Amino acid sequence: MEIGLVELSRLQFALTAMYHFLFVPLTLGLSILVAIMETVYVMTNRPIWRQMTKFWGTLFGINFVLGVATGITMEFQFGMNWSYYSHYVGDVFGAPLAIEGLMAFFLEATFVGLFFFGWDKLSKVQHLVVAWLVAIGSNFSALWILIANGWMQNPVGAEFNPDTMRMEMTSFFEVLFNEVAQAKFVHTVSAGYVTASVFVLGVSALYLLQDRHRDLARRSIAVASAFGLAAALSVVVLGDESGYSASHTQKMKLAAMEGMWETHHAPAPFTAIGFPDKEARETHYAVEIPWVMGLIGTRSLTQEIPGINDLVAESEDRIRDGLIAYDALMTIRDQRDATPQSVRDTFEAHSDNLGYAMLLMPYVDDPREATDEQIAMAADDTVPGVAPLFWAFRIMVALGFSFIAVMAYFFWRASFRQMQFPRWSLYLAVAIIPTPWIAAELGWFVAEFGRQPWTVDGVLPTAMSASHLSIADLLISLAGFVIFYTVLFVIEVRLMVKYIRKGPVQDVEETEAWQARHERRLKSSGVDPDAGVATPAE
């Protein structure tokens, strides 16, 4: 494949987006875990929980700032590198992005400063409220971003306006309550909660292995495993929900993820393992589990899931239909207000397939002059890379299920085995720290690579979306981002390690004050404080 402007633009977007998502999941989950810890502190007044809040809060801060910094790129990159996309769908896509700023990002960013600097300036309850506002703000951010992304996957509530040559919003509520967006939102934030839980679990396990900060570590494991178990279950359930909605909104993506070339009579089997071959159009050595795919995809035993070959044939029909819309659009563009109503009616009738006609743009300047062969090639282009999707999806799912197992195990040991963790389990917890990030990145890969060749599914091809920049522009910015982001990443990881090594700051004064109060309380209730007193750490 020749590396052109579009490929470079895609590469840059993929790199910056995936880099951004190294920090986001931890922000989403850790903000809530920290707020939970502070809630326990405010309710029990035990200094250990304040120590935990501050310690995990410090790590949260180091991570948060890079999430914010790399998010700036995301906000402007659409306009910089995807200017036709921005023009074409800004009327719909821009709204959730702007609302994210108004409703969510302002909240988290305004209060995050107070979270770190307000310990001595706020009352306990005020500070707790600030912590929760940061957590809520971060999570609302994710909601609006996923509404925007969900619309790219399933563009509801909008139609093409031939006078302005772009998609315009027809129903804000449909965009808002897009089923794909809702499923993706819960799936994504849950994945963030799992990430943070695995992180807290792993760092705490490290402390237990080193026999340091046992009080902080054991409590942190208790919180993280309970929260992580709920989140890990939610990720899988909502992942299934995403699969279900894909079966009627993004049939091609689903078929490609499954390496399902032919339409199978219902209920379709699930290919657990196999080697998809795009040339031969079959999946070699497939190990199939009967019925499962049909059940996941359609929740019925009778509905069929179309295979890739049938979907390509359907795409070809849609390209031909889209050409009628394209022809009418050219007339409207030239004649403007003088366009006969009949032409406008023709356009309306076929405008749903306009995007398919634009798939021909890489082959021919005027899609109306495309040959049958070119139409067939464009229809073939609607198949994304099957093998990468097939494998990425399976690794993600396997990781997802293993998180449930790990979290369940630690939850059980923490709740019913007096927090006694065998050493092998602690080593395991440390070793799996990177895996939720792998799962999350693969998830985004499946979602975005699986949507190709579209930026907006069925509406706007990726090849049309990019800005008309020069290759030199792209090479400069791409090299800049790679160097710049690598340096920042190295610095970030080293700081994280430094602060994990350093461990929590013991708050001596407050711990002693608490101990004194605690002993007074015990005395007044008639218990001898010397006989097996709970230390503030417990």
Partner 1 sequence: MILHELIDYDILRVIWWALLGVLLIGFALTDGFDMGVGALLPFVARTDVERRVAINTVGPVWEGNQVWFILGGGAIFAAWPPLYAVSFSGFYLAMFVILAALIVRPVAFKYRSKREDATWRSRWDWALFAGGAVPALLFGVAVGNVLLGVPFYLTDSLMPMYPGNFAAKFLGLLRPFALLAGVVSLAMLLMHGAAWLSLKAEGDVARRARSIGIVAGLVAAAGYALAGLWLALGIDGFVLGDVAAGGASNPLFSEVTREGSWLSAYADRPWIAIAPAMAFLGIAMAVLGLRSGREVSTLLWSKLGITGIIASVGLTMFPFILPSTLDPTSSLTVWDASSSHQTLFIMLVVTAIFMPLILIYTAWVYKVLWGKVTEADVTENSDTVY
Q: List the interface residues with partner 1, window 113-152 (CB under 8 A).
A: 113-114, 116-119, 121-122
Segment 39 to 78, residues that bind partner 1, using CB under 8 A: 61-62, 65-66, 68-73, 75-76, 78
The neighbour count for residue 245, using CB atoms within 10 Å, is 22
Cis status, amide bond into 267, omega within 30 of 0: yes
Q: What is the largest CA-CA distance in the chain?
A: 96
Segment 494 to 513, residues that bind partner 1, using CB under 8 A: 495, 498-499, 505
Task: Output the smallest distance, CB 76 to partner 1, in A.
Answer: 5
Binding mask 165-204 for partner 1 (x = CB under 8 A): xx-xxxxx--------------------------------
Task: Output the smallest distance, CB 371 to partner 1, in A.
Answer: 22
Q: Which of 4, 43, 124, 161 binds partner 1 (CB under 8 A)?
A: 161
Q: What is residue 268's DSSP assignment?
A: P
Task: Output the smallest distance, CB 506 to partner 1, in A.
Answer: 12
DSSP letters of 375-440? HHHHHHTTS--HHHHHHHHHHHHHHHHHHHHHHHHHHHHHHHSTT---HHHHHHHHHTTTHHHHHH
**Residue 17 engages partner 1 in binding (rule: CB under 8 A):** no
Segment 306 to 365, residues that bind partner 1, using CB under 8 A: 333, 336
Segment 74 to 103, residues that bind partner 1, using CB under 8 A: 75-76, 78-81, 83-84, 86-87, 90-95, 97-103
The neighbour count for residue 174, using CB atoms within 10 Å, is 16
Spatial separation of the C-alpha atoms in residues 106 and 409, rounded to whole Å: 38
Residue type at 345? D
Shorter beta-carbon distance to partner 1: residue 148 or 206: 148
- With CB under 8 A as the rule, give the number of residues binding partner 1: 76
Shorter beta-carbon distance to partner 1: residue 106 or 427: 106
3-state secondary structure of 272: strand
3-state secondary structure of 536: coil
Long-range contacts of 286-292 (CB under 8 A, 24+ apart): 286/259, 291/267
Shorter beta-carbon distance to partner 1: residue 333 or 523: 333
Spatial separation of the C-alpha atoms in residues 167 and 92, rounded to whole Å: 7
Binding mask 468-497 for partner 1 (x = CB under 8 A): xxx-xx--xx--x---x---x--x---x--
Binding mask 386-425 for partner 1 (x = CB under 8 A): ----------------------------------------
Task: Output the smallest distance, CB 244 to partner 1, in A.
Answer: 29
Distance of CA 461 to the CA centre of its chain: 22
Q: Which of 4, 43, 44, 110 binds partner 1 (CB under 8 A)?
A: 110
Task: Output the smallest distance, CB 131 to partner 1, in A.
Answer: 14
Q: What is the dihedral of CA 392, 397, 403, 408, to 10 degrees?
A: -170
Shorter beta-carbon distance to partner 1: residue 113 or 434: 113
**Rounded to 5°, angle at Cα 235 from 229 and 240:** 135
Q: Which of 49, 111, 160, 449 binds partner 1 (CB under 8 A)?
A: 111
From 106-114, 313-321, 375-383, 449-457, give the range in contact with partner 1 by CB under 8 A.
106-114
Shorter beta-carbon distance to partner 1: residue 398 or 505: 505
First and final C-alpha spacing in the chain = 62
Segment 221 to 250, residues that bind partner 1, using CB under 8 A: none
User: Residue ranges of the alpha helices (H) in 210-258?
Assistant: 214-249, 251-258
Task: Output the smallest distance, CB 344 to partner 1, in A.
Answer: 13
Question: Exposed, middle or buried by CB within 10 Å (0-12, 13-18, 19+), for 135?
Answer: buried
Shorter beta-carbon distance to partner 1: residue 52 or 311: 52
Segment 434 to 473, residues that bind partner 1, using CB under 8 A: 467-470, 472-473
Task: Output the smallest distance, CB 338 to partner 1, in A.
Answer: 13
**Residue 109 engages partner 1 in binding (rule: CB under 8 A):** yes
Question: Exposed, middle or buried by CB within 10 Å (0-12, 13-18, 19+), for 179?
Answer: middle
Question: Exposed, middle or buried by CB within 10 Å (0-12, 13-18, 19+), for 498?
Answer: exposed
Sheet strands (E) in 259-327: 270-277, 282-289
Tokens of 487: 């340096």
Q: Specify the length of the chain in residues.
A: 538
Shorter beta-carbon distance to partner 1: residue 113 or 422: 113
Shorter beta-carbon distance to partner 1: residue 78 or 437: 78
Task: Output the smallest distance, CB 422 to partner 1, in A.
Answer: 35
